[in-house]
């Protein structure tokens, strides 16, 4: 979510629609970028970053799923 949002956001803000040789003509440089797509992309990247941050703090308390040749099992360590 983070990487995809950053890619879409950068594409929306950097990719201009003035063609290969940009100039100040009928459509100005500020209006040539897709602001809505860039904003949605950066917002998605921010939400993905928040999910990664929240997941890193809760990961210590979550059980671990172990997959091996004998099967699948869930391991939970109890400490106090």
Which residue has 């970028």 as its token pair? 33
CA dihedral 47, 48, 49, 55 (to 10 degrees): 110
pLDDT per position as a tens digit, 12-21: 888 776 666 6
Predicted pLDDT at 6? 92
* pLDDT tens, residue by residue, 15-52: 776 666 656 555 566 667 788 888 999 999 999 999 88
pLDDT at 7 over 90: yes
Domain ranges of the chain: 2-75
Q: What is the pLDDT of residue 51?
A: 87
Of 1, 41, 35, which Cα lies nearest the Cα of 16?
A: 35
């Amino acid at each position: 979510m983070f990487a995809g949002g950053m890619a879409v956001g950068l594409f929306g803000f950097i990719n201009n629609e003035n063609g290969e040789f940009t100039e100040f003509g009928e459509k100005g440089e500020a209006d040539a970028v897709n602001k809505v797509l860039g904003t949605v992309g950066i917002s998605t990247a921010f939400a993905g970053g928040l999910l990664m941050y929240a997941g890193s703090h809760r990961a210590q308390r979550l059980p671990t799923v172990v997959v091996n040749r004998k099967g699948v099992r869930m391991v939970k360590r109890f400490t106090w």
